Structure 1
Amino acid sequence: MHMLNPHCGIDRDSRGVVRLTICNAGSLNILGTTVINHVREGIEALAADRDIRVLLIAGQSEKSMIGGADIKEMAGLDQRSAETFISGLRALCDAPRLFPAPVIARIPGWSLGGGLEFAAACDFRVAAHDAKFAMPEVRVGIPSVIQAALLPRLIGWSRARWLIMTAATIDAPTALNWGLVDVVAAQGALDAEVEKLVDALLECAPDALRSQKAMLRQWEELPLKESMDLSVGVFGQAYLTGEPQKLMGDFINRKR
């Protein structure tokens, strides 16, 4: 593993799949300001590399990908420093959303608060059979904010309200049923399920996937007609990459 910085370890294979491991943040991978900044810097540095096909985010232990934000640090904040802290966490959670290639969250163990917000900002969430999820902020005197705003889009308003207003902990099967995660792995099969998803993404055209991700993000903000109008130009631009000509040609020739 190559260390980009003290909190980001990088493994890269010949397929263009990069695994970013969040390191040296305790067994639960807790997000204090230094960890937040280093992980954001690591993801942003990788974003410029067009040879990356898939980015996988993992934790150093099997207890968590990201357990949550650092309560010890947050307990000492005031209004101004609280806004600075949460703005840094927002920028970290934006990093996978803005990353050009698909991003997979590998989720064992606990995913709490800021850790769940980060997972929600990834494109795909693959959870272990015994993963647990919660938004416990209201129990320690703060609201759930920043990328918690993604939760109603993922799981609907009623379930998002339940999660963030009762601070309930839900298990992996419930998270799957709610649409909070995409896959729950059988016991011992988390990496195998991640690899199935990686293989599926590698079967797709890389430029088309990058274009699709960017367009999905724009669809979140635009009215329906504008979303359709935007997509016409994006469809045309796909032909500038050469991918449609090659891959459609390959398909036609296979059929003969």
Structure 2
Amino acid sequence: MIYGKYEEDILLREDREGAVFLTLNRPDKFNTLSEAMLAALQRELDAVAADPAVRCVVIGGNGRGFCAGHDLREMRANPAQSYYQSLFRSCSRLMQSVVVLPVPVIAKVQGMATAAGCQLVASCDLAIAGQSASFAVSGINVGLFCSTPAVALSRNISSKRAFDMLVSGHFIDADTALEWGLLSAVADDADLDAVVANKVQQILSKSPAAVRFGKSMFHPQRQMALADAYDFAGDVMAENMLSPDAEEGIDAFLAKRKPIWQQLSGN
């Protein structure tokens, strides 16, 4: 089903057999992250986090661009430090919600992704872009260093490359973004939907429990010291081994048959 739930349908949601597709729908504004858009995305991610039936999320944008970052007109209409602090806290909460969501999040990028739009790409677990996509953290061009986007960007690409993008505002193309680690794949523009759908199906074919175990450990361990990371990962893997899906998967492998995964429930 497809439905829009927010003011002027600025965010669309489609559910397909365990996958949720969220589409930023302000094409005339290059899908900028207005207050309303941030709130709409946050509500959907909170709902997904509480729903054991969801197994994957795809975030895309309608129109010629993925997302051009914050709504600068809205920001200039509210010239108060307290407003800006609240806005950036809301955006930071959203980006962290993507990271801690219990299921994989894929950015499907067409056209340009700039500033907080590039930050959103960097925050997703996977990012697949069309060949014509481009990326920048270009706030510096209007006198604003992209400080919060820098947090996500510098966790995807090297610090020198990230700082160069941040201090120069220059764009990189999709192939460069792939080489640098901002993207996980690049597709011909005409094939972008199909490539993303194939990646979703790959995820949906795996054990729902194992994917959630994996997401729960992957990002936290990156912030740990090596020994602590191994201790944490070992505990998660031991718990995963005791799950019904691990038992089923190993038994199926040994018996040379296809596994039948358990569906998660909220009970």
Question: Does TM, scored on the shorter chain, surpass 0.5?
Answer: yes
- What residue number does 2:16 align with? 13
Q: Percent identity?
A: 27
Distance (Å, rounded) in 1 between the aligned partners of 2:55 and 2:130 = 23
Q: Secondary structure at the match of 1:69?
A: coil
**Are residue 65 (structure 1) and residue 66 (structure 2) matched?**
yes
- Higher mean displacement: 42-51 or 115-124: 42-51
| 8 Å CA contact 1:27, 1:60 repeated in 2 | no
Secondary structure of the equivalent of 1:143? coil
Q: Which residue identity is paired with 1:65?
A: F
Q: How does 1:15-34 map to 2 (within 5 A)?
A: 16-24=18-26, 26-34=28-36
Report the Cα distance in structure 2 between the residues aligned to 1:157 and 1:60, rounded to whole angstroms: 31
Give, in angstroms, the shift of residue 81 of structure 1.
1.5
Alignment of 1:1-256 (within 5 A): 1-6=2-7, 7-14=10-17, 16-24=18-26, 26-61=28-63, 63-76=64-77, 77-254=79-256
Amino acid at match of 2:22: L
After TM superposition, give the deviation of residue 163 of structure 1 in Å: 0.8
Question: How many residue pairs end up in the alignment?
Answer: 253
Which runs of 5 or more structure 2 residues have no equivalent in the other structure?
Answer: 258-267
Larger mean CA deviation between 99-108 and 178-187 belongs to: 178-187
Q: Quick one: structure 1 residues 203 and 124, their matched pair in 2 at CA, closer, same or farther if it must change by over 3 Å?
A: same
How far is 1:200 from its partner? Answer: 2.0
Q: Kindly provide the CA deviation profile for residues 122-159 of structure 1, in whole angstroms up to 9, marking residues without a partner as x.
A: 10000011001110111112221224212223111111
Amino acid at match of 2:131: H
| 8 A Cα contact 1:5 1:42, kept in partner | no
Separation (CA, whole Å) in 2 of partners of 1:69 and 1:195: 28
TM-score (norm 2): 0.89
2:262 aligns with none
Distance 1:191 1:201 in 2: 16
Q: Judge which range, 231-240 or 43-52, deviates more.
A: 231-240
CA–CA distance in structure 2, aligned partners of residues 10 and 98 of structure 1: 20
Task: Please list the CA deviations of residues 204-247 of structure 1 after superposition, one character each: whole Å capped at 9, or x if unmatched.
Answer: 22111111111111112211111111112111211342111101
Do 1:25 and 1:31's aligned partners in 2 also have CA atoms closer than 8 Å? Answer: no
Any idea what SS the aligned residue of 1:31 has? Answer: coil
Superposition TM-score, scaled by structure 1 size: 0.93
Cα distance in 1 between the residues matched to 2:95 and 2:27: 17
1:159-180, CA deviations, whole angstroms, 9 ceiling, x for partnerless residues? 1011111100111111111111
CA contact (8 A) 1:4 1:42 kept: no
| AA partner of residue 51 (structure 2) | D
> Could you tell me how far apart the structure 1 residues matched to 2:118 and 2:255 are?
45
Determine helix, strand or coil for the equivalent of 2:156.
Answer: helix
| Residues 3 and 223 of structure 1, relative CA distance in 2, 3 Å threshold | same
**Cα offset for 1:34?**
1.5
Q: CA RMSD in A?
A: 1.6
Distance in structure 1 (CA, Å) of the matches to 2:226 and 2:37? 38
Q: CA deviation at 1:102?
A: 0.4
What residue in structure 1 maps to residue 264 of structure 2?
Answer: none
The amino acid of 1:219's aligned partner reads: Q
Whether the 8 Å contact between 2:110 and 2:189 is mirrored in structure 1 is: no
Could you list the runs of 5+ residues in structure 1 that have no partner in the other structure? Answer: none
1:227 match: secondary structure: helix
Deviation at 1:46, TM superposition (A): 1.7
